[in-house]
Amino acid sequence: MTNKKVKVATVSLAGCFGCHMSFLDLDERLVELVEHVEFDRSPLTDIEHCSSDCDIGLIEGGVCNSENVHVLREFRKNCKILVAVGACAINGGLPAMRNHISLEDCLNEAYVSGVGVENPQIPNDVELPLLLDKVHPLHEVVKIDYFLPGCPPSADVFWKFLTDLLAGREPSLSYELVHFD
């Protein structure tokens, strides 16, 4: 156990990659982190699918389309500990602000009747994942073990959370580290 690195997978679903950028704000602490951690599926590695023995999955963003659902389920299946990272993962966040507008109206506004739209048509390529009727927080789709609030959570939040887990402690965030904004 002592020599085996902890496998961490990360993904951004209906998010803005802001949480991943904040994670990279760990800066030089990343050097210390990779002594204990190996990145599996992640935009940082470009690995496309989770290994079956991931320890920690960090999920940014909520669930807005069919692909998000598949990816989230893949993470749940392969990660021992699944973490909702940031406001969108926890409550849908900014993308969920479309939830009180019908999907048809959203698509029409963006691709048909919106200001400055040329050659209006709703994208319908088979490669495109279908949008869900509503944007959902992660916990409405799979079991989530921990939540890191913030928009984004600061690098200190990631550091405290991961170092607690790596040390075998129950993660605990001080008052200063818990912000919903």
Partner 1 sequence: MNKSIVIDGKNIPFEDGQTIMQAATAAGVYIPHLCHNPKFTPHGSCKLCTVKVNGRNCSACTFPAAEGQTITNITQELNDDREKITQMLFVEGNHFCPSCEKTGNCNLQAVAYHLGMTDNHFPHFFENREVDASHPDVMIDHNRCIFCTLCVRASQQEDGKNVFSISGRGIEKRLVVNSESGLLKDSDLDVNDCAAHICPTGAILIKRTGYKVPIGQRIYDHSHIDTITLAAEGASHDE
**Binding residues for partner 1 (CB under 8 A):** 84, 87, 90-94, 96-97, 99-100, 134, 136-137, 139-140, 144, 146-149, 151, 173, 175-176, 178-181
Residue 54 tokens read as 């991931």
Task: Please measure the distance between the N-terminal and C-terminal CA atoms of the chain and give it in whole angstroms.
Answer: 37
CB of 148 to partner 1, least distance (A): 7
Residue 160 tokens read as 């405290």
Q: Which amino acid is at 168?
A: G
CB 73, CB 79: distance < 8 Å: no
CB of 100 to partner 1, least distance (A): 4
Residue 34 tokens read as 């990779």
Nearest CA to 44 out of 52, 53, 33 is that of: 33
CB of 149 to partner 1, least distance (A): 5
Handedness of CA 109, 113, 115, 120 (dihedral sign): positive
Q: Which is nearer to partner 1, 111 or 146 (CB)?
A: 146
CB of 16 to partner 1, least distance (A): 11
d(CA 146, CA 56): 10
Q: Which is nearer to partner 1, 37 or 88 (CB)?
A: 88
Which residue pairs, CB below 8 angstroms and at least 24 apart, start in 161-164? 161/83, 162/8, 162/33, 162/37, 162/56
Q: Which is nearer to partner 1, 97 or 128 (CB)?
A: 97
CB of 180 to partner 1, least distance (A): 4
Q: Which is nearer to partner 1, 50 or 85 (CB)?
A: 85
Q: Which is nearer to partner 1, 30 or 94 (CB)?
A: 94
